[in-house]
Structure 1
Amino acid sequence: MANSPSGDSMLDRLVRILDSFDSENQSLSVIALARRAEIPKATMYRLLDELVGHDLLARDKDGQVRLGLRLWELANRSTTTQDLRKTALPFMEDINQLLGQNTQLSMLHQDEVLIIERLSRPGSVVNQASVAGRMPVHSTSMGMALLAFSRPEVIREFLDRHREIMNSTHPNFRAEMAEIRRNGYASFDGFIDPETTGAAAPILDNSGYQVAVLSVVVPRDSTSLQPAAMALRTAARGISRALLLTNTP
């Protein structure tokens, strides 16, 4: 795509515009969007008309801008997430009903935990995860389980990029990784919310490396943590087997 006078391409600008929205900024004024995307206001107004025309963005009556429905439509055509979600949902529903707590399906994407699906439950504990939202690897059981069961080169490259924060939050990183692999799940207290504990078990490919993770959030010091971890491991193995059968010619 053609470059702007500043040297960035149309694609660069489009990605920055879409990345400006997150769980805390689901709608933005045009001025705020231009500032977050680092695009001149005049250019932002022009691009906005085109993006709204293609339903990639939507503009409310009050002038606020949000992501358009076409993005949701395109995202749901992804074969990888579609197959994973379809396969995992029956197992997630069983876990959700058994434990009575929110249940998540997540993947490691661009050095963050990307939430693919979440099943809510009335009366469950506080849970910061939201579908299509991202969470940090170092402060979630989901992220640490995904990292522990990643290929060695993925772990090495992740540490190269985030060594400072991993050293400060996980000074015994290698021991933690070994324990997670030995137990078959990760569990951390109060990283996101001081009143909760997260537990996460990996969904593995036929080489034994993660493709996703299944997780729940339970009250801190709850007696349900160990049963939750065991249920997650069983469900994750079931999803792994079902995915293998789905992808077998």
Structure 2
Amino acid sequence: MRAVPAPKSLLGRAFALLAVFTADRPSATLSELSRYSGLPLSTTHRLTRELVAWGALARDEAGRFTIGLRLWELGALSPGALGLRERALPYLEDLFEVTRHNVQLAIRDGLEAVYVERISARDAVNVVTRMGSRMPLHATGVGLVLLAHAPKDVQDRALAQPLKRYTAHTITTPNALRTALATVRRDGYATSDRQIETFTHSVAAPVRGPGGEVV
């Protein structure tokens, strides 16, 4: 992640610091926060102190910062995920009991899949996803399901952007993605074979609302 021009407003600066944290970078030092957010070190120091006091950030004994529990609490209240999680959790638990594999629930946000619930199997393959993490639509099972049933303008945007390669098996061309999406709509489910990591395979199915729409 490269540094970006620092925002001018106080709120924008706070968001710039929070945006440094990703699934690949769950913690950061003060200097890393300053570098990746584009903020001066003195500003970073002042804002992190306030964010820690409020609970948006936490700081460990080594001086590294992580997302604080207060943000997790607020994120769990998102109406886009809260109702779905509550309704889906019993079914996720049933699926986990039958398969004894990792079971995950995701929603679409733009051109990414956001994982809003997860049940992990102790002896299953360790995957990179966690609650709140984001993954590309074109290279994940849940992403392919969500994209296959997304509005046409969303699909057009996904097909027009560069498709990042993660492994030799990742879908990287528009034609291959179109074919994959058509297959999902025909079969009613999606598979992703070693697209993100070479040792993982996933199967995903859509969750539909009362009117049959994919949520």
**TM-score range normalised by the length of the shorter chain:** 0.7 to 0.9
Question: What is the alpha-carbon root mean square deviation over aligned residues?
Answer: 1.9
Q: Across the two proteins, how many residue pairs are aligned to each other?
A: 204
Matches within 5 A, 1:51-62: 51-62=51-62
Q: Structure 1 unaligned segments of length 5 or more: list them.
A: 1-5, 212-249
Distance in 2 between the 1:107 and 1:70 partners? 22
Q: Does 1:205 align with 2:209?
A: yes
Give secondary structure in 1 for the equivalent of 2:180: helix
**Residue-by-residue CA offset, 1:37-59 (whole Å, 9 max, x unaligned):** 11110111111122122111122
Task: Give the whole-Å Cα distance in 2 for the aligned partners of 1:44 and 1:78.
Answer: 28
- 3-state SS of paired residue (2:207): strand
1:115 is aligned to 2:115:
yes
Contact 1:107/1:114 (8 A) holds in 2: yes
> In proportion to residue count, which structure has more helix?
1
Provide TM-score, normalisation by structure 2.
0.86
| Residues 152-194 of structure 1: per-residue CA shift (max 9 Å, x gap) | 222123334x1x3278345333222221101001112111222
Identity of aligned residues (%): 34
Instruction: Specify which structure has the bigger relative contact order, considering alpha-carbon pairs within 8 angstroms and separated by 6 or more residues.
Output: 1
Question: What is the deviation of 1:150?
Answer: 0.8
- The TM-score with structure 1 as length reference comes to 0.75
- Three-state SS of the structure 1 residue aligned to 2:62 is coil
Corresponding letter in the other structure for 1:153: D
Q: Quote the offset at 1:204 in angstroms.
A: 2.2
Inter-CA distance 38–25: structure 2 relative to 1 (3 Å threshold)? same
Out of 190, 196, 217, which is 2:194 matched to? 190
Q: Measure how far apart 1:111 and its partner are.
A: 1.6
Q: Which runs of 4+ in 1 moved over 4 A?
A: none
Q: Counterpart of 2:179?
A: 175
CA apart distance, 1:119 = 0.3
| Residue type of the alignment partner of 1:205 | G
For residues 108-147 of structure 1, the aligned pairs below 5 Å read 108-147=108-147
Matched ranges for 1:1-249 at <5 A: 8-160=8-160, 162=161, 164-165=162-163, 168-211=172-215
Distance 1:30 1:131, change over 3 A: same
CA separation in 1, counterparts of 2:93 and 2:49? 41
Given that 1:112 and 1:137 are in contact with CA atoms closer than 8 Å, whether structure 2 keeps it comes out as yes
Question: Whose radius of gyration is greater, 1 or 2?
Answer: 1
SS at match of 2:205: strand
How far has the Cα of 1:27 moved from its partner?
A: 1.9
Structure 1 distance, partners of 2:59, 2:200, is 37
Aligned to 2:168: none
The SS at the match of 2:157 is helix
> For residues 18 and 128 of structure 1, what CA distance do their matches in structure 2 show?
20
Post-superposition offset of 1:107: 1.0
Contact 1:149 1:208 in 2 (8 A): no
Return the alpha-carbon distance in structure 2 between the equivalents of residues 102 and 57 of structure 1: 28
